[in-house]
């Protein structure tokens, strides 16, 4: 069963400038949005196995905007940062929206996917991390059930959401419509490509278009982790474009938005 949808009102406030989602991987406040809808999060898919996870983030509805799923040719799953909301990152989706593209955003419990730095040992961020991966899986399943195939779904995240988005795609390798990780990277104190192959040499992202954007001096995301993430995804056969922006800080810039808009246009054909 797909998650239920609410296309109603939004939160107070709104991001401005380059901090369109304003949630960091280690803890920064976020913002709001309007004119969206939600659907309950009860899909039967799993992020890494045949058993669906029922964790802290599964009680929250999926926020949707853009083209109605039933009429969409493609979809974008947007994962917000810590302290932000599904409704806030939908605003970023609206900035790059094209006709035929559905926007889907899962919501974290208390606006936080996991409690500690993404550089901490994985176990210290459970059960939030695994529940967050399930929330992305649920969003993709909602699109699949509406007739949008996975190779027409772009998974995008900012900050803590970028960490989850890249982690999800790396742990569930297949052809996606794209992966965008803005100011984030794979989760854990150490990153080994063998952890993502699952013992199967056939694990393959099949040239999934992948864009990693981050500042070279981000206070929360070490440059080294961006490179490690790019390396793992490339070894999983993603088509990786990594861009480090000099002195940007923790935010989203116009070049990143233009890149996402181009990827969205390719998917939706517009």
pLDDT higher at 237 or 8: 237
pLDDT higher at 148 or 200: 148
- Judged against a pLDDT cut of 70, whether residue 86 lies above it is answered with yes
- Judged against a pLDDT cut of 60, whether residue 250 lies above it is answered with yes
Q: What is the pLDDT of residue 39?
A: 59
Max CA distance (Å), the chain: 48
Average pLDDT over residues 199-210: 80
Q: What is the pLDDT of residue 53?
A: 78
Q: What is the pTM of this model?
A: 0.83
191-194, Cβ contacts within 8 angstroms, sequence gap of 24 or more? 191/225, 191/228, 191/229, 191/232, 193/231, 193/232, 193/235, 193/236
d(Cα 124, Cα 117) in Å, to the nearest integer? 9
Q: Return the closest-CA partner of residue 230 out of 210, 253, 260.
A: 210
- Judged against a pLDDT cut of 80, whether residue 220 lies above it is answered with yes
pLDDT higher at 203 or 209: 209
Of 39-48, 92-101, 255-264, the poorest mean pLDDT is in 39-48
* C-alpha distance from residue 264 to each of 44, 93, 99, 157, 166 (Å): 27, 10, 10, 14, 18
Average pLDDT over residues 220-238: 96
- Judged against a pLDDT cut of 60, whether residue 57 lies above it is answered with yes
Q: What is the pLDDT of residue 270?
A: 66
- Judged against a pLDDT cut of 60, whether residue 41 lies above it is answered with no
Would you call 187 helix, strand, or coil by DSSP?
A: coil
Write the pLDDT tens digit of every residue in 126-145: 999 999 999 999 999 999 99
Query: CA angle at residue 179 from 128 to 249, to 5 degrees?
Result: 75
- Judged against a pLDDT cut of 90, whether residue 14 lies above it is answered with no
Q: What is the pLDDT of residue 214?
A: 96
Would you call 103 helix, strand, or coil by DSSP?
A: strand
Q: Return the closest-CA partner of residue 90 out of 114, 66, 68.
A: 66
Write the pLDDT tens digit of every residue in 147-174: 999 999 999 999 999 999 999 999 999 9
**Average pLDDT, rounded, for the chain:** 84
Q: What is the pLDDT of residue 43?
A: 39
Average pLDDT over residues 26-48: 42
Of 52-56, 117-121, 171-175, the poorest mean pLDDT is in 52-56
Question: What percentage of the chain reaches a pLDDT higher than 90?
Answer: 71
- With bands split at pLDDT 50, 70 and 90, how would you rate the model's confidence at 38? low
Average pLDDT over residues 107-121: 97
Taken in order of first residue, the domains within the chain and their CATH numbers are 5-10+20-268 (3.40.50.1820)
Average pLDDT over residues 42-57: 59
Two tokens, residue 132: 């967050």
Q: What is the pLDDT of residue 193?
A: 84
């Amino acid at each position: 069963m797909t998650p239920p949808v609410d296309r109603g009102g939004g939160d107070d406030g709104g991001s401005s400038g380059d901090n369109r989602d304003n949630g960091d991987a280690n803890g920064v406040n976020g913002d709001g949005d309007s004119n969206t809808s939600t659907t309950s999060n009860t899909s039967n898919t799993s992020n890494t196995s045949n058993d669906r996870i029922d964790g802290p983030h599964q009680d929250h509805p999926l926020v949707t905007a853009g083209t109605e799923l039933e009429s969409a040719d493609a979809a974008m799953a947007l994962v917000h940062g810590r302290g932000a909301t599904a409704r806030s990152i939908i605003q970023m989706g609206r900035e790059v929206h094209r006709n035929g593209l559905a926007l889907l955003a899962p919501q974290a419990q208390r606006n936080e996917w996991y409690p500690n730095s993404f550089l901490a040992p994985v176990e210290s961020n459970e059960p939030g991390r695994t529940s967050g991966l399930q929330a992305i899986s649920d969003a993709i399943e909602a699109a699949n059930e509406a007739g949008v195939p996975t190779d027409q779904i772009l998974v995008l995240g900012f900050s803590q959401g970028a960490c989850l988005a890249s982690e999800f795609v790396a742990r569930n390798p297949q052809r996606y419509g794209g992966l965008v990780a803005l100011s984030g990277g794979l989760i854990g104190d150490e990153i080994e490509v063998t952890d993502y192959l699952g013992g199967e040499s056939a694990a393959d992202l099949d040239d999934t278009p992948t864009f990693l954007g981050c500042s070279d001096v981000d206070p929360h995301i070490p440059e080294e982790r961006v490179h490690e993430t790019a390396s793992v995804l490339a070894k999983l056969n993603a088509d990786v474009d990594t861009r480090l922006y000099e002195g940007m800080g923790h935010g989203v810039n116009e070049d990143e938005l233009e890149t996402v808009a181009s990827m969205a246009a390719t998917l939706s054909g517009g």
